[in-house]
Structure 1
Amino acid sequence: MKMPVMSIVTIVYNGIETLQKTIDSIANQSYSAIEYIIIDGASSDGTINLIKDNEASVSKWISEPDNGLYDAMNKGLKMASGDYVWFINSGDEIYNRMSIEHMVNGFNDNWPDVIYGDTVMIDSEGHEIGGRRLQPPKDLSWKDFKNGMLVSHQSILVSTKIAKLYNTKYRFSADFEWCLQALMEAQLIHNTNQTLSRFLDGGLTKQNIIPGLRERFDIMRRYFGLFPTIIKHVPIGLRFVSYVLKNKRF
């Protein structure tokens, strides 16, 4: 049986401290049908030499200036030639070496359009610090995103047949709209019922939490309507505050 090819894309800029673990998590997969793409934003800290040292594990890579994270991700999308695209950016990791093999073994006769799972958060040393504030539901649809981004971007794979380019109008939350659009387009959505990624805490969106939330509100308003979005943000806000007070992180 033909194995689906996973186009895994890593975006990096000056990632000399974080990129090797990401590369290793992909290179060490038990699953062989992987196209690994690295998009570097013209790093100046030795990252390019690190990529060259790992070229045996990398299918394609480029290093050039970009116009932000989502412009770089669009470059990766355009280079992807596999059946699915999966963004595992510098510092993030696939959960374990069997993750893709177990994922694919869980498919039925038809390959899904969207594949999703859970995420564990890690610190800069690679230690697990817990799960995300929002958890993926058993059955996911685009309407569930009324309650926020229930699936981490690092734990969702999208068929390249339906994957759209990121809307670079948004600097911090274009991934929210990208996932939403994929779910709207999907005919078959598959819950792996497994943890798919280890997500490095403290990324771009978290560092820009307020503008990121403004962008996400605007996206939700466009897709769900202004009044429903306002109403939904009352429980979303309460859950956010409760989580921060209990866990001392967000």
Structure 2
Amino acid sequence: MKVSVIIPSFNSAKTIEDTLESIMDQNWTDIQIIIQDGGSTDDTKAIVTKYPTAILGWQSEPDNGIYDAMNKGIKRATGEIIAILNSDDAWLPGTLDRVASVFSRNPDVGIVSGSIEVWEDSPNGAKVVLKSSLLHLYKGLTVQHPATFMRRNVYERIGPFDTRYQIGADYDFVLRCLMANIPCIILEDVLVRMRAGGKGSSIFTLDDWKVRRSYKISSVFYEIITSINNFMRQLTRKIIKNTLGDKTVSIIRNYRWRKRTFR
């Protein structure tokens, strides 16, 4: 079973080697690595060059955001199974064996998704395991996209990511798959380690709101309360960081994360 893994990247020299090593450690013989780079000016390409399988799939050109890069990668993919792995994330050992076995035993299934471990890249940093779920999508994207694998024919049927969303197109895409009744299997296995951080804040909240309202899966009252809570949480974190420092933010984050199950 051929697997295509798409890695969107931009100035990822500090992290992309960990990502590539995690792919190489799968020891998967039939794999296509597609690195869709947005025009990096650091040493990203020099690092990728050390991996012959990866440099074959290297393409660097300006794009219109991460989902445009993903769409370009999907067009280049030739594998039966397509994965998207960010350039600062990593597959855990045995991930492809586990996922491929599920697809092989279930030929009608189009999507397989597992859990992710989110961690702070710092000594004694906070970490949490977040599961995938189809039951909590009214809250946000609770299918963990870095740990989600799809047959190529799902993209052919559903279409590309909607680039009108800055960072909510994966949420929209999952909901489109559900509306199209694409069969999905959710695994308990932790498949990916993901660094905390990245895009989010008010843009993420706004994109979530747009997606939920477009599918009418939440009330206006819920959105108002959610927006207020998110704003207050971000404001509080900023105040704590500026007054008490990153270490205190990490301690509080670790406490809050212990109560989380889904993103």
Count of aligned pairs between the two proteins: 235
Aligned counterpart, 2:248? none
**Taking every aligned residue pair, what percent have the same amino acid on both sides?**
24
> Is the 1:117–1:195 contact (alpha carbons within 8 Å) kept by the matching residues of 2?
yes
- Rounded to whole Å, the distance in 2 between the matches of 1:56 and 1:113 is 26
- Rounded to whole Å, the distance in 2 between the matches of 1:106 and 1:169 is 33
CA drift at 1:230: 2.7
Matching residue's letter, 1:175: D
Aligned counterpart, 1:91? 88
> Is the 2:48–2:54 contact (alpha carbons within 8 Å) kept by the matching residues of 1?
no
> Is the 1:120–1:129 contact (alpha carbons within 8 Å) kept by the matching residues of 2?
no
Aligned counterpart, 2:244? none
Matching residue's letter, 2:81: Y
Residue number among 214, 222, 225 corresponding to 1:222 in the alignment = 214
Residue number among 19, 22, 26 corresponding to 1:22 in the alignment = 19
Aligned counterpart, 2:74? 77
> Is the 1:113–1:186 contact (alpha carbons within 8 Å) kept by the matching residues of 2?
no
Encode CA deviations 1:113-143: one digit per residue, 9 max, x unaligned. 11111110123359873225x6323xx3xx6
> Is the 2:10–2:38 contact (alpha carbons within 8 Å) kept by the matching residues of 1?
yes
Structure of greater Rg? 2
**Quick check: 30-39 or 8-17, which moved more?**
30-39
Residue number among 38, 45, 49 corresponding to 1:48 in the alignment = 45
TM (normalized to structure 1)? 0.82
Residue number among 189, 197, 204 corresponding to 1:194 in the alignment = 189
> Is the 2:33–2:53 contact (alpha carbons within 8 Å) kept by the matching residues of 1?
no
CA drift at 1:210: 0.5
Residue number among 240, 247, 250 corresponding to 2:256 in the alignment = 247
- Rounded to whole Å, the distance in 2 between the matches of 1:21 and 1:224 is 40
Q: Does 1:154 align with 2:146?
A: yes
Encode CA deviations 1:192-245: one digit per residue, 9 max, x unaligned. 22111111111123xxx11221111011101125xx33354478679976x969
CA drift at 1:187: 3.3
Residue number among 58, 62, 66 corresponding to 1:61 in the alignment = 58
Aligned to 1:106, the other structure's residue is in SS state helix
CA drift at 1:29: 0.3
> Is the 2:9–2:35 contact (alpha carbons within 8 Å) kept by the matching residues of 1?
yes
Distance change (3 Å), C-alpha of 1:186 and 1:157: farther
TM (normalized to structure 2)? 0.78
Runs of 5+ unmatched residues, structure 2:
234-251
CA drift at 1:169: 0.9
Taking only aligned residues, the RMSD between alpha carbons, in angstroms, comes to: 2.9
CA drift at 1:94: 0.7
> Is the 2:126–2:253 contact (alpha carbons within 8 Å) kept by the matching residues of 1?
no
CA drift at 1:82: 1.2
Residue number among 164, 175, 179 corresponding to 1:180 in the alignment = 175
